[in-house]
Structure 1
Amino acid sequence: MIVLSGPPALGPLLARGALRSPFKRPAADAPFPRTRLVLPALRADVGRLAAYERVCGFATGDDGLPVTYPHVLGFPLAMRLMSARDFPLPLLGLVHTSVEIERYAELPGAGTYELSVRIEKLSPHRRGTEATVVTEARVGEDVVWASRSRYLARHRTTTAGDSTPQENRDPLPVVEEWRIAGDVGRRYGAASGDRNPIHLHPLTARLFGFPRAVAHGMWTVARCLAAHGVPERARVEAEFRAPVLLPGTVAYAADGTGRFELRGPKRVHVEGRVLPLAT
């Protein structure tokens, strides 16, 4: 365990990660850092929190942190682990494929939290190797919020695809249609600190193979949850199916069972659900 005095600066971590080769072909059984990074006595910055709420569509001025906000607080710690020399996957090109969040209690916006981040495991994936990053927020000894994010390093692999039959579901009913502005990536980047160049400008996005800038995956799920609503004690599951190009128009769809989708004319971008946790 390493206890930090403050959040690491993201700029140098991105630069350090970008200097490593994006062409590494790691194995799922490769060694990875087992360190748990801890930030004690962390409080949310009021200004950045308000900017985050505005860009994601959450109500501003509420007493509680949005359900996705601890991910933002823990992201610099995850970046420090994934940009380190002993992390076997190349940071450049990692794709955030899914997130699972469990909130066990309301999180006061003015509260003080101990935040910890660790890499739980590497797993084979049909398209490469996936790293699972665990983030936890504690008040005293109690875990009040936890998440698992999966990041995929794409490379050739002999791993077979999932042979489990996919459940055929009818499309969810559309609730709203959203026109997403071209500056959403820059606004979210300023609020969250995640200034990955694929999200900022068309030119920098094209350097990484995208025709235009793409929205942050965590912005898309946060925007959906702001519209959906989340109980005080809840489990959120979301899979990022395809990037949202900026600017663009998408449809937010949901039903009464907790399922939600964000989809475009040709594909589903985000698929997820919200489940209440037993008390």
Structure 2
Amino acid sequence: MSAAIEELRNAPAMLPLFAKALLRANVKPGNNPVLPNAGIRLRDVVLDPKHLRTYRNVCGFPADGMLPVTYPHLHAHPLFMSLLLRSDFPFAAMGLVHVRNRITQFRPIAEREQLDIECGFGELVRVAKGYEFSMLTSVSTGGELVWESESTMFRRGGGTGVEEPRSAPNTTPVTDAEVWQVPGDIGRRYGAVSGDRNPIHLYPLSAKLFGFKRQIAHGMWTKARSLAALHEQLPVQPFTVDVQFKLPVFIPAKVKFAHTAVADGIDFRLVAQDGIKPHLTGTLRHAD
């Protein structure tokens, strides 16, 4: 059965959504959670040059007349939140963890193109320590699909208890790498431009309220910053960038970014100062 798509005239405001998330913080999924058969569409999104310029400054992208490959995610985020705060969504939005993100760009998107953005739910899977589900986004312009993504979210609790076999982690220390100084205010700066002002990203005290020793960088900032570092190597042809978010980046921090060219694209990773502890692992591959 196809999803019921809600048409919006304007993007939802993030502050009321965050307030609603606090009110729904104690929602319990029950024994057999089911995702709503629903989606949201926002048409004719005109991009704000000032907002785009701020995003580039925060993430390190150059101004080249095209949208940074991660930029459409920002316009999908309020739609994500609206879906997560539906009365029939089985989990509390607070406490969800973004564990993976895959973006496919079918062609570069010019700054002045108007975008149609549609978001919906993917598959819900019960895993060892809880549940995983995906949020799907497609971006079109003039009826042409130009960008799509899948964000995989994790909710702890109610899992199977059965661990899946995993490949051995890469413990080879990063040696030939860029060293980045991640400032302590990057969570506030990225939160201001993205609308994602989750307290775990803002200040040491607000992060401690949620069990962190201090604030952490947004996962999507680490992905954006990595792709900004690879900007000159990004293909014009369709490509997919798939990342897994590993250990959080407690900020301020010093991290290392390394990348390797492979036959069909680029492998990259962001690691701690010791060159081993992983924050993000990613692959860039040419899309079919």
TM-score when normalising by structure 2: 0.91
Which ranges in structure 1 are unaligned for 5 or more consecutive residues? Answer: none
SS at 2:261 equivalent: coil
Which residue is 2:110 aligned to? Answer: 108
Question: What code does the residue aligned with 2:6 have?
Answer: I
Match of 1:254 among 256, 259, 264: 259
The Cα RMSD (Å) is: 1.7
| Residue 95 to residue 174, structure 1, CA distance change in 2 (3 Å) | farther
Do residues 211 (structure 1) and 213 (structure 2) align?
A: yes
Which is worse superposed, 79-88 or 224-233?
A: 224-233
Query: How many percent identity over aligned positions?
Result: 37
Question: What code does the residue aligned with 2:249 have?
Answer: V
Q: CA deviation at 1:108?
A: 0.5
Deviations 1:189-244 (A, max 9, x none): 11111111111111111100111110000000100111023222210000001110
| Residue 143 to residue 192, structure 1, CA distance change in 2 (3 Å) | same
Aligned residues: 276
Q: Provide the C-alpha distance between the structure 1 equivalents of 2:183 and 2:84, rounded to a whole number of angstroms.
A: 30
Do residues 5 (structure 1) and 13 (structure 2) align?
A: no
| Residue 114 to residue 57, structure 1, CA distance change in 2 (3 Å) | same
Deviations 1:236-269 (A, max 9, x none): 0000011100101100011112011110025100
Question: What code does the residue aligned with 1:32 have?
Answer: L
Q: Provide the C-alpha distance between the structure 2 equivalents of 1:129 and 1:26, rounded to a whole number of angstroms.
A: 12
Do residues 45 (structure 1) and 55 (structure 2) align?
A: no
Q: CA deviation at 1:171?
A: 4.7
| Residue 111 to residue 206, structure 1, CA distance change in 2 (3 Å) | same
| Residue 209 to residue 164, structure 1, CA distance change in 2 (3 Å) | closer
Q: CA deviation at 1:169?
A: 7.1
Q: 8 Å contact 1:114–1:137 — kept in the other structure?
A: yes
1:49-198 correspondence runs (5 A): 49-59=52-62, 61-166=63-168, 170-171=172-173, 173-198=175-200
Question: What code does the residue aligned with 1:263 have?
Answer: V
Q: 8 Å contact 2:131–2:158 — kept in the other structure?
A: no
SS at 2:88 equivalent: coil
Q: Provide the C-alpha distance between the structure 1 equivalents of 2:54 and 2:192, rounded to a whole number of angstroms.
A: 8
Do residues 236 (structure 1) and 238 (structure 2) align?
A: no
Q: CA deviation at 1:167?
A: 6.9
Which residue is 2:35 aligned to? Answer: 32
TM-score when normalising by structure 1: 0.94
